[in-house]
């Protein structure tokens, strides 16, 4: 069945890079997403990648996709205190309008 897994916690020092990893099981995944959720807030789409791409860069964010291993990662360069949040990895099959399958989220905390 469809499943998305990610580690629960990550702690990094301010200014370092953060790398959040995710694995998924659905071989027909079409779109893969990273969402950010701050306390008490909804979901903010950070970036997404189509399954025929290997990498996507958007300012401080770099997404890497290894489709063979069904592994997705999000790298945040120069991590700041404002990056503290829960990050959700997610995927859809067939089209971007299809249901989204989310992981349980990785809580990123920043050390001074």
Partner 1 sequence: DAGVTQSPTHLIKTRGQQVTLRCSPKSGHDTVSWYQQALGQGPQFIFQYYEEEERQRGNFPDRFSGHQFPNYSSELNVNALWLGDSALYLCASSLWGSNQPQHFGDGTRLSIL
**Chain contacts with partner 1 (rule: CB under 8 A):** 4, 31, 33, 35, 41-45, 48, 50, 88, 90, 95-105
CA distance 90 to 35: 8
Question: CB within 8 A of 16, min separation 6: which ones?
Answer: 79
**CA distances in angstroms from 19 to 2, 29, 34, listed in the order given:** 23, 22, 12
Task: CB nearer to partner 1: give 13 or 53.
Answer: 53
Residue in 83, 81, 80, 61 with CA at minimum distance from that of residue 72: 61
Residue 64 CB, shortest distance to partner 1, in Å, is: 19
Give whichever of 17 and 25 is closer to partner 1, judged by the CB atom.
25
**Would you say 15 or 99 has its CB closer to partner 1?**
99
> Minimum distance between the CB of residue 3 and partner 1, rounded to whole angstroms?
11
Distance of closest approach, residue 59 Cβ to partner 1, in angstroms: 18
């Amino acid at each position: 069945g469809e499943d998305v897994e990610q580690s629960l916690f990550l702690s990094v020092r301010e200014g370092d890079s953060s790398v959040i990893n995710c694995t998924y099981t659905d071989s027909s995944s079409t779109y893969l997403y990273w969402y950010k959720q701050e306390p008490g807030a909804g979901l903010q789409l950070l970036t997404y990648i189509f399954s025929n791409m290997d990498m996507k860069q958007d300012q401080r964010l770099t997404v890497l996709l290894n489709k063979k291993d069904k592994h997705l990662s999000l790298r945040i360069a120069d991590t700041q205190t404002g990056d503290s949040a829960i990050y959700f990895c997610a995927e859809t099959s067939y089209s971007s309008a299809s249901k989204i399958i989310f992981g349980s989220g990785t809580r990123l905390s920043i050390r001074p």
